[in-house]
């Protein structure tokens, strides 16, 4: 299984914001911290805001901040919101499936079970858990904030 960049960046944005809870972060700051496209980050932030994970404050002095406590942000829910689908194989999508053995194949059920186990593990963790499992100097690893 491979997460999309959108899902990966979603988790990165949330970790950044959780590691620096007392301040707003601009999308440019987030992009610079991770060395990724600001354009892509804007779309990620829109997804996170649409799901209620972050709050976006517009304007020159605005930025992005967590919309709720890290303990209230489940990792599994974030990934479900950020991933377009979790179809591991073609036959998971009935409309696009062209596999001729799909009706008789036993692999599909096993892969579905594995996907559900993967998500079940992620459902047990929150953003607060991820921060707690990170090094204490996590916030210091990002680029310095301009004053």
What domains appear along the chain, each with residue ranges and CATH number?
A: 5-85+126-141 (1.10.10.10)
Distance CA 137, CA 135 (A): 5
**Cβ(86)–Cβ(75) below 8 Å:** no
Cα angle: 142, vertex 29, 15; to 5 degrees: 50
Distance CA 24, CA 7 (A): 21
Q: Considering the entire predicted model, what is its pTM? A: 0.84
pLDDT digits (tens, 9 = 90+) for 30-87: 998 888 999 999 999 999 999 999 999 998 888 999 999 999 999 999 999 998 787 7
């Amino acid at each position: 299984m491979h997460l999309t960049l959108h899902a990966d960046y979603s988790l990165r944005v949330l970790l950044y914001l959780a590691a620096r809870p007392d301040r707003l972060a601009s999308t440019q700051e987030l992009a610079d911290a991770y060395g990724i496209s600001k354009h892509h980050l804007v779309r990620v932030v829109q997804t996170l805001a649409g799901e209620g994970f972050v709050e976006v404050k517009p304007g020159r002095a605005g930025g992005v901040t967590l919309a709720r406590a890290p303990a209230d942000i489940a990792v599994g829910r974030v990934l479900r919101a950020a991933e377009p689908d979790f179809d591991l194989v073609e036959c998971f999508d009935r409309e696009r499936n062209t596999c001729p053995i799909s009706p008789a194949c036993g692999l599909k059920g096993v892969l579905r079970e594995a996907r559900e186990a993967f998500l079940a593990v992620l459902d047990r963790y929150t953003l607060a858990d991820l921060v707690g499992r990170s090094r204490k100097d996590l916030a210091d690893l990002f680029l310095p904030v301009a004053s």
